[in-house]
Amino acid sequence: MKVNIYYGGRGLLDDPTLYVLKKAEEVLDELQVRIERYNLYEQKNSITTLPQTFKDADAIILASTVEWYGIGGYMHQFLDACWLYGDKKKISSLRMQPIVMSTTYGEKEGFLTLINAWEMLGGEPCDGLCGYVDNLMEFEMNPDFNRLIEKRIENLYRTISQKIKRFPSSNHAVMQNVLRTNRIDLTPQESEQLSKYVSDDVYVQKQKEDIEELTAMFKGLLSESQADSNREYIGAFEKKFISSPGLQCKYIFMIEGKPQALVIAVQGEDLNCYYSEEKQGDVVIKIQPEMMENIQGGHMTFQRAFMTGAMSAKGEFKLLRMLDNLFPFSI
């Protein structure tokens, strides 16, 4: 029989949880139970890999200390790792005994946190122990407390050896029927490999650099695409432009799907084409992208498009008629 102990405190000398674990190890050793202990504060860079240590364990002890609020960050990290990378099938057959000691208020809440978390993971908790310790010396010297610790650890041994069942918990029902989170469906082997990658700082840093590089590349492509979009139709107008000395006018093309209007400003022999928020011009034209492409492809003229209703316009119609002379796409 083997029991793994996961200690989520900070390892301080006056931590009462350490004393409880010492007594627990003594009892388990007398019962000839193999013990392996993991101090999370010593393995904070590899916490994500610790759920893989469940493989050969018959039961585990989750021990934490409430110093000011809750069970502490290391234990939360460990439980997160169990949810993300743990073998749920193994967890479902694994008994867990919670031990939470407190030097302030909140040991019962911390105790329930461990029980609820383990049940949400699909495992079965055993009777544990929690308590408030004001004076560590008095706590250690109290024989009643020592007997209580011994009895609870002996109960863990009996529960494992006799495979004692517990009543069903609603948390299991929540886990199976209500709790729906987006998780990648991985095999135990894939989860183990992923947890190793996550704990490898060099690998994680390389992945972040690769993501940043890809992000920069796609931003560049997006910028190029936006630049191309900002030049759409303009090249064809510039290529076909025939100057008209003395003519000064501005055409506003409202092209469907374009967030900005295409402005064609004619100033004698000069032509200025650009996209803008401008909505006022000598001629304001509303046109579909397909029709604009047909006109620039030489399959349609501005005049015919207007006469057939494929294009609408308002403003000076004399200038509208001049569009085909200024930009003879059909020639």
Q: Are residues 218 and 308 in the same domain?
A: no
* pLDDT at 288 > cutoff 60: yes
Say which range, 14-28, 99-113, 205-219, 245-259, has the weakest mean pLDDT. 205-219
- Side-chain-side CA neighbours of 171 within 13 Å: the count stands at 17
Q: What is the mean pLDDT of residues 32-38?
A: 95
**Do 10 and 111 sit in the same domain of this protein?**
yes
Mean pLDDT for 160-180 is 71
Domain-embedded: residue 65 = yes
Asked if 246 and 311 sit in the same domain, the reply is yes
Q: Are residues 210 and 245 in the same domain?
A: no
Q: What is the mean pLDDT of residues 295-318?
A: 92
Categorize the per-residue pLDDT at 199 as very low, low, confident or very high, splitting at 50, 70 and 90.
low
CB 50 within 8 A of CB 43: yes
Same-domain pairing of 104 and 44: yes
Residue 141 exposed, middle or buried by CB count within 10 Å (0-12, 13-18, 19+): exposed
Same domain, 190 and 223: no
Looking up residue 123, the CATH number of its domain turns out to be 3.40.50.360
250 part of a folded domain: yes
Residue 184 confidence (pLDDT) above 60? no
* pLDDT > 60? residue 228: no
Could you tell me the residue range of the domain that residue 279 belongs to? 234-326
75: helix, strand or coil: helix
Q: What is residue 222's predicted lDDT score, i.e. its pLDDT?
A: 58
Domain for residue 90, yes or no?
Answer: yes
> Residue 183: is its pLDDT beyond 60?
no
* Residue 217 in this model has a pLDDT that exceeds 90: no
Average model confidence (pLDDT) across the chain: 87
pLDDT on residue 238: 92
Same domain, yes or no, for 192 and 277? no
Q: Using pLDDT thresholds of 50, 70 and 90, give the confidence band for residue 163.
A: confident
| Whether residue 204 sits in one domain with residue 194 | no
Confidence of residue 141 (pLDDT cuts 50, 70, 90): very high
* 57 in Cβ contact with 3 (< 8 Å): yes
* pLDDT at 178 (0 to 100): 58
Structural domains counted in the chain:
3
Are 216 and 287 found together in one domain? no
Q: Decide: residue 213, CB within 10 A, 0-12 exposed, 13-18 middle, 19+ buried.
A: exposed
Residue 221 pLDDT > 80, yes or no? no
- The CATH code of the domain that includes 266 is 3.30.1050.10
